[in-house]
A and B are shown apart, each in its own frame.
Chain A
Amino acid sequence: MVAADIQFSDELQAYIEEWSRKEGGLVMMLHRIQHEFGYIPRAAAEKLSLISGIPLAKIYGVITFYHFFKTTMPGKHRIAVCMGTACYLKGGQDLLDETRSILSIGPDEVTDDGLFSVDEVRCLGCCGLAPVLMIGDEVFGKVTKDQLPEIIAKYRNK
């Protein structure tokens, strides 16, 4: 896919036009693109380069520097397992391993049905609820391994 094949929504188009005039807007524009597509497709990066005049190499330099930006399409439901220190001490690693084992996927992989992907994230900022995981916008606190199949099942049919 090349730049010509990808469609930006009017809002995204307008946002990019506004921010490419501002100094240092690249990170903000990438956020907006990821917000629209769930990740940053190559074609979108190319199109951004065409509109803003920022070299593609520089855009990729920034995308790959920051953990937040993804270059592969995540699952429909993104499971984020918190690996902040508080969660780690309370079994975050076990939750992460178990979630990946239930879904049979590794890092940066998506289940065959396209429904799930699992990321480890740095601190969701609700350490009082450790260990924590998040699916989409929903936060689950004080999670045990036994609860995982049920939590995942809830999203399978959503």
Chain B
Amino acid sequence: MAYKNFILVCGGTGCESSRSDEIYRNLIKEAEALGVKQDVQIVKTGCFGFCEKGPIVKVLPSESFYVEVKPEDAHEIIAEQVVKGREVKRLLYQKDKSAATAKLEDIEFYQKQFRIVLRNCGVINPESIDEYIARDGYKALEKALFEMTPEQIIAEIKASGLRGRGGAGFPTGIKWETARKAPGDVKYIVCNADEGDPGAYMDRSTIEGDPHSVLEAMIIAGVAVGANMGYIYIRAEYPLAIERLKIAIAQAKEYGLLGENILGSGFNFDVEIRLGAGAFVCGEETALLQSIEGKRGMPVPKPPFPAIKGLWGKPTVINNVETLANIPVILTKGAAWFASIGTEKSKGTKVFALTGKINNSGLIEVPMGTTLREIIFDIGGGIKGGKKFKGVQTGGPSGGIIVEKDLDTPISYESLTALGSMMGSGGMIVMDEDDCVVDVSKFYMAFCVDESCGKCAPCRIGTKQLYGLLDKISKGKGEEADLDKLEKIGKAMTKASLCMLGGSAANPTLSTLRHFRDEYLEHIRDRKCRAGKCKDLVVYEIDAAKCIGCGLCARRCPVPCITGEKKKPHVIDASKCIKCGECFAACKFGAVIKR
């Protein structure tokens, strides 16, 4: 049966939460009601990446790209497009209201992207192994089992230049080789899907959109290393990803791609899902292994590295989701192809979750070597509301802020580290002039205080001390000597902590201090927060010349501390004000000033 149209509905978490599931069901219902069920195939796919404009619906072959679709639009899509063959113009993506409607390839958001990891996201139904296979899925596994020796597989991965995408950037091939050569009969493959960086969802989307790519890679890793058991350690907060993994595992078993005697090769490999329970430190591989063993997730000193002595004391390869999703493509297209993409030392692509004060929030994949400016201003469409760019945080609570003057740096593991940040797992959070560096540093430090496992003193005590100092500064009670203290303690933590959580916890503070020392000093000397984020330092006032005395602010004020007669300028009693900002938000005449 040939379909005339294919409708792809985004089933990523972002779109699901904007009722894409209802859109999907409505489309099916409408297709039945209008008698065109046989003409159209409706598929729920993984994330399209353009989360800002979700829910997304794409119709083939016309390539109509519909954004911000509502469940009630289903009727029109079927009635117009499938029945009459006409696009629903009002739902098509438009850059601004005057511009012509655009196809996917015309949308700036997609133009500079290059998709390896996300190759199937938004293209196939993640709950169908057949669709994965139709897109060359499990071909790499076949090659690994029948055409290559484990040494050849490892050599290929090494030659590709693939490095760990979880943040540290360790060469994947060397990790595999170490584990292969480590003595022992029992070895393990672990997939780290415990995405803990707040503000990042690359791994979640990869698993939700293409779970088989991760499974296939784990089996290949098993072949290469000589392991027969794999664990996927995934956040319990990701129910949809877990569900799709379960489906994928069951399908792979049914097809003889997982379990005993895979494809008749005599090789056995099984995969089990283990749930994380909300501990950022479990992103550290030794802590993750402790957690899989059912213990408190506290890191242990390295060496010995997990590739020598890992899970239950056996050689263990731990790879992140994104790293694994690259593997099948490297084997099918060849190491040379992969190595031709990217920079000298950072090969391939990187997925980023682009969020914050940016026009086009979403999930993007770009070749290594793309500049931050291209990502933020071309793909991301610049800063929201025409505000001024302040900085971009990469690497989450472990990374640092990158400022305007460095935006033309091509992205690589080395270049970001040289800027005092890091590649990290792929969170990329854009800040504008309304964000305060002291406030953001305090936010990240509060996170680290919470997440420090407490095992080693530099991290346990250091994070708490840094938080205390930042809190003091944000309340206008800081002293200039505090800035030196921040630096000294931060550097001590970086040097002396047991794992990378503590070792990088000071990064946001140190990097903002380097680039925005004047703002810190402003908080200390002038008791002023120019962004108006540090509540203790903000004063609200009413500009008598602009106030028309409508009284809206006074009605909104929860204290209340605003008084005044009708149609006459009102006054805020600063001694009572709790600085909630309600009056500032309520005033339609710009008469409430934040100072």
Contacts and interface: CB of A to CB of B under 8 A. Distances in A.
Interface in A64-101: 65-69, 83-90, 94
A27 B54 CA distance: 35
A85 B14 contact: no
A110 interface: no
A139 interface: yes
A18 B295 CA distance: 18
Interface stretch (B90-98, B127-135, B275-283): B275-283
B236 interface: yes
Interface in B186-229: 195-201, 204-205
Contacts of B13: 124-126, 139
Contact of A130 (B279, B361, B447): B361
Interface stretch (B25-33, B173-181, B349-357, B411-419): B349-357
A107 interface: no
Given A25-B294, A27-B274, A125 B237 contact: yes
Which of B51, B198, B443 has the largest number of chain A CB atoms within 10 A?
Answer: B198
B330 interface: no
Interface string B223-246: 000000000000011110000000
Contact of A28 (B54, B275, B312, B581): B275
Interface stretch (B250-258, B315-323, B427-435): B427-435
A140 B16 CA distance: 11
A128 B51 contact: yes
A121 interface: yes
Nearest to B292: A24
Range of interface residues on B (Cβ < 8 Å): 35 or more
B236 A86 contact: no
Contacts of B362: 128
A62 interface: yes
A18 to B, nearest CB: 12
A124 B429 CA distance: 15
B62 interface: no
A86 B393 CA distance: 11
Contacts of A23: 293-294, 312
Given A123-B199, A125-B195, A27 B294 contact: yes
Interface in B282-308: 291-297
A122 B205 CA distance: 17
A83 B447 CA distance: 10
Nearest to B12: A126
B237 A89 contact: no
A89 B392 CA distance: 12
A33 interface: no
Nearest to A91: B581
Nearest to A124: B237
Contact of B361 (A30, A68, A127, A138): A127
B52 interface: yes
Interface string A41-80: 0000000000000000000011001111100000000000
Contacts of A61: 296
Contact of B201 (A25, A62, A66, A123): A123
B38 interface: no
B296 A84 contact: no
A45 to B, nearest CB: 14
B149 interface: no
A85 B54 contact: no
A26 interface: yes
B18 interface: yes
Interface string A126-143: 111110100001111100
Contacts of B356: 85-86, 89-90
Given A125-B195, A129-B14, A85 B393 contact: yes
B11 to A, nearest CB: 13
Contacts of B54: 128-129
A135 to B, nearest CB: 11
Contact of A139 (B17, B297, B427): B17
Interface of B: 13-14, 16-18, 51-52, 54, 195-201, 204-205, 236-239, 274-280, 291-297, 312, 353, 355-357, 361-362, 393, 396, 427, 429, 431, 435, 440, 443-444, 447, 450, 453, 581
7 contacts: A67-B279, A68-B276, A89-B440, A122-B198, A126-B17, A127-B200, A139-B16
- Pick the 9 closest A-B CB pairs, nearest first: A128-B51, A139-B17, A66-B277, A85-B199, A26-B294, A24-B294, A67-B278, A84-B198, A68-B278
Given A122-B447, A123-B200, A129-B17, 7 more contacts: A25-B294, A66-B278, A68-B276, A85-B429, A90-B356, A127-B199, A128-B52
Interface of A: 23-28, 30-31, 61-62, 65-69, 83-90, 94, 121-130, 132, 137-141
